[in-house]
Amino acid sequence: MPSSSPTQIDPEAYWMPFTANRRYKRDPVLFDSADGMYYHRPDGSKVLDGIAGLWCVNAGHRRPEVVQAIAHCADRLDYASSFQMSHPLAFQFAEALCEQAPGELSHVFFSNSGSEAVDTALKIALGYHKARGQGQRVRLIGRERSYHGVGFGGLSVSGIGGHRKNFGNLLPYVDYLPHTYDRSQMAYTRGQPAWGAHLADELERIVALHDASTIAAVIVEPVAGSTGVLVPPQGYLRRLREICDRHGILLIFDEVICAFGRLGAPFASERFGVLPDIVTCAKGLTNGAIPMGATLVRDAVYEAYMDAPEGAIEFSHGYTYSGHPVACAAGLATLAIHQSEGLAQRARELEPYWEDAAHALCGLPGVVDIRNIGLLAAVELEPRAGKPGQRGFGVHQACLAKGSLIRSSGDAMLLSPPLIIEKAQIDELFSTLSEVLRQDA
Ligand SMILES: Cc1ncc(COP(=O)(O)O)c(C=O)c1O
The 3-class secondary structure across 293-356, one letter per residue, is EEEEEEHHHHHHHCCCCCCCCCCCCCCCCCCCHHHHHHHHHHHHHHHHHCHHHHHHHHHHHHHH
- Is residue 110 within 8 Å of residue 184, measured between CB atoms? no
- Model pLDDT, residue 109: 98
For residue 187, the tally of other CB atoms under 10 A from its CB is 14
Atom number of ligand 1 nearest to Cα 146: 1
Residue with CA nearest ligand 1 atom 3: 148
Q: What is the mean pLDDT of residues 206-212?
A: 98
Stated pTM of the model: 0.97
- Is residue 105 within 8 Å of residue 279, measured between CB atoms? yes
- Model pLDDT, residue 8: 79
Q: What is the mean pLDDT of residues 90-100?
A: 98
Pocket of ligand 1 (CB under 6 A): 113-115, 118, 147-149, 221, 225-226, 254, 256-257, 282
Closest CA to 346 of 316, 374, 305: 374
Which SS3 state, helix, strand or coil, does residue 400 take? helix
- Model pLDDT, residue 1: 41
Task: Measure CA of the first residue to CA of the last residue in the chain; give whole Å.
Answer: 46
Atom number of ligand 1 nearest to Cα 282: 10
Domains along the chain with CATH numbers: 6-62+342-440 (3.90.1150.10), 66-341 (3.40.640.10)
d(CA 330, CA 67): 8
pLDDT tens sequence across 405-414: 999 999 999 9
Q: Which of 227, 283, 321 to mutate to test the pocket of ligand 1 (most atoms within 8 A of CB)?
A: 283
- Is residue 98 within 8 Å of residue 108, measured between CB atoms? yes
Residue with CA nearest ligand 1 atom 12: 149
- Is residue 31 within 8 Å of residue 38, measured between CB atoms? no
pLDDT band, very low/low/confident/very high, at 441 (cuts 50, 70, 90) = low
Calculate the average pLDDT of the chain: 96
- Model pLDDT, residue 2: 46
Atom number of ligand 1 nearest to Cα 291: 10
pLDDT tens sequence across 288-338: 999 999 999 999 999 999 999 999 999 999 999 999 999 999 999 999 999
Atom number of ligand 1 nearest to Cα 283: 10
pLDDT higher than threshold 60 for residue 105: yes
pLDDT tens sequence across 346-363: 999 999 999 999 999 999
Q: Which residues contact 96 (CB under 8 A, 6 or more apart)?
A: 331, 332, 335
d(CA 128, CA 147): 24
Q: Which residues contact 154 (CB under 8 A, 6 or more apart)?
A: 114, 115, 118, 119, 122, 148
Which SS3 state, helix, strand or coil, does residue 106 take? strand
Which SS3 state, helix, strand or coil, does residue 23 take? helix
- Is residue 246 within 8 Å of residue 272, measured between CB atoms? no
pLDDT higher than threshold 70 for residue 202: yes
Atom number of ligand 1 nearest to Cα 54: 14
pLDDT tens sequence across 223-263: 999 999 999 999 999 999 999 999 999 999 999 999 999 99
Identify the H or E element spanning 144.
none
Q: How remote is the CA of residue 208 from the centroid of ligand 1, in Å? A: 31
Residue with CA nearest ligand 1 atom 7: 114
Q: How remote is the CA of residue 293 from the centroid of ligand 1, in Å? A: 9
Atom number of ligand 1 nearest to Cα 280: 3
Atom number of ligand 1 nearest to Cα 225: 16
Q: How remote is the CA of residue 114 from the centroid of ligand 1, in Å? A: 4
Q: How remote is the CA of residue 257 from the centroid of ligand 1, in Å? A: 7
Q: Which of 147, 160, 319 to mutate to test the pocket of ligand 1 (most atoms within 8 A of CB)?
A: 147
Q: Which of 55, 57, 110, 118 to mutate to test the pocket of ligand 1 (most atoms within 8 A of CB)?
A: 118
pLDDT higher than threshold 80 for residue 83: yes
How much of the chain, in percent, has pLDDT values that exceed 70? Answer: 98
